[in-house]
Amino acid sequence: MNDSPGWATPGSSPSEGERPGAPAEQPQPPAQPADAPKWSAEQPPPGQWQSPAPGQNPPPAPQGGGWGGYPPQPPPYGGPQGGQYGYPGGPGHWGQPPAAKPGVIPLRPLGLGEILDGAVATMRAHWRSVLPITLVVATVVQVISLLVQKLVMEDIVVSLDRGNVSPEQLLSTMGNAFAASAAAQFLQSLGGIIVTAMLTMIFSKAVLGQHSSVSQAWRDARPQLLRLVGLTLSLGIGLILLGTVIILPLALVGNAGLIVLGAFAALALLCWLWIKFLLASPALMLERGTVFKSFARSSKLVKGSWWRIFGITLLTLIITAIFAAIIVLPLQMIGFSVFGDGLGSMQDPLAATAWGPLVLTGIGAIIAQAVIMPIQSGVTVLLYVDQRIRREGLDLELARAAGVENYGG
């Protein structure tokens, strides 16, 4: 979708034998009775709008006119107009038709509710493609995390509980736990990259009202997977190094106040960069660009809308976190109640590594992640689409790709 479709202005076609621009035939006045009042022979010129005679087509719209012969409207995405945004079908333009909606979202700038609803609607309408991807990845990640907690963390808890472990043994145990946790985190990140890549393709088709199978999503995403891995690693390592450069010198000084101030400054900077490059992943997958070009595209799209994107992303994280807690916490409490010594054992580190609570907590986490990942990925993809509609008129290309006729007239 590189070339833009034409913009056709709708209007009524002239009747047969009538040339465009020709003046309409004026109706003849009826005969006046003899005692009727006499009117002056000089009448003011007729107005611009005249009623046609019965059976006669209305005159053609003036050249350069807009919808239905009214004066042309300003560009649809040029900013506020009289306090409202001028997108088709939006507030302030009651005379225009509603925006086309071939898929899960209308083809116009989106609001918060439409972005969240689009993500949920895609997951519901395309669950046969979405859930297998997220369930497989979430299951693999949670099984690995469960084994790490059971086999590695249990050794640390037992060693600390005994109290007679030498520093060398404790250091070795903690090193093994750190290595196992790092490996589990790496696999989790890799699974998240695969989910993001495939869900991006599914959501891009859902916007057009098209379905995408798991195999087709994999074929579409596979050429960009290595670049997506490079993008994710570059962003993660860059943020870690930046935070270390800010906090480490202050930590060496030893001033607690400076350390706290530096931590807040680093957190604010990392949050700003995170939102600035949030749209790099969908830009990489859908525009087929390079890693650095995708970072530049995200920066360009987010510019001027940072707070709006930050608010939508933060609200999405809060909603998904609440949903995860609703799913995981009851199963976790059941695990401690049935397989432990009651809810009071939740504070016992050794009881937390028992098989019963671990398995039930893992099941809850799998269910939660299978639902959370599509919503988070969907919101990011729809934010990317929304920003391109607002800035680049992407809705015209989407309408043409979806086969919407006469869109943009």
- Is residue 24 included in any domain, yes or no? no
Angle at alpha carbon of residue 324, lines to 318 and 326, rounded to 5°: 105
CA 252 distance to own-chain centroid: 41
Torsion of CA 358, 360, 366, 367, to 10 degrees: -160
Nearest to 373 by CA among 195, 112, 238, 235: 195
Q: Burial, 338: exposed, middle or buried (Cβ in 10 Å; 0-12, 13-18, 19+)?
A: exposed
Question: Are the CB atoms for 340 and 116 separated by under 8 Å?
Answer: no
What token pair was written down for 314? 């933060």
The C-alpha atoms of residue 400 and residue 402 are separated, in whole angstroms, by: 5
Q: Give the predicted TM-score (pTM) of the model.
A: 0.72
Inside any domain, residue 93:
no
Residues in the chain: 409
Question: Which residue reads 């509710």 in tokens?
Answer: 113
Q: Which residues contact 226 (CB under 8 A, 6 or more apart)?
A: none
- Whether the Cβ atoms of residue 220 and residue 212 lie closer than 8 Å to each other: yes
Query: Taking a C-beta distance cutoff of 8 angstroms, is the pair 264, 363 a contact?
Result: no
Give me the residues of the chain with pLDDT under 70, please: 1-97, 153-167, 169-170, 173, 176, 340-352, 408-409
Separation CA 4–CA 13 (nearest Å): 25
Q: How far apart are CA 263 and CA 269, in angstroms?
A: 10
Q: Does any domain span residue 399? A: no
Is 220 part of any domain? Answer: yes
Q: Is residue 161 part of a domain?
A: yes
What is the C-alpha to C-alpha distance for residues 27 and 56, in angstroms, rounded to an integer?
10
- What is the per-residue pLDDT for 343? 66
Is there a domain that residue 250 lies in?
yes
Nearest to 358 by CA among 210, 149, 48: 149
Q: How far apart are CA 231 and CA 193, in angstroms?
A: 10
Domain count within the chain: 1
pLDDT, residue 100, reads 86
The closest alpha carbon to 149, from 381, 356, 295, 394, belongs to 356
CA distance 279 to 230: 15
Distance CA 201, CA 286 (A): 8
The answer to whether residue 134 is domain-embedded is: yes
What's the pLDDT score for residue 165?
62
Q: Tell me, what's the pLDDT at 17?
A: 41
- pLDDT at 130 (0 to 100): 94
pLDDT of amino acid 68 = 34
Instruction: Give the DSSP per-residue string, 137-165.
Output: HHHHHHHHHHHIIIIIIHHHHHHHHH---
CA 379 – CA 308 distance, rounded (Å): 13
Contact 249, 261 (CB under 8 A): no
> Under 8 Å CB-to-CB from 363, ≥6 apart: which residues?
331
Separation between Cα atoms, residue 199 and residue 179, nearest integer Å? 30
Strand partners, 260: none
Q: Which domain holds residue 291?
A: 130-394
On whether residue 26 sits in a domain, the answer given is no
The span from the CA of 1 to the CA of 390, in Å, is 17
Torsion (CA) 81, 87, 89, 90 in degrees, nearest 10: -50
Residue 380, CB-side half-sphere exposure with 13 Å CA sphere: 28
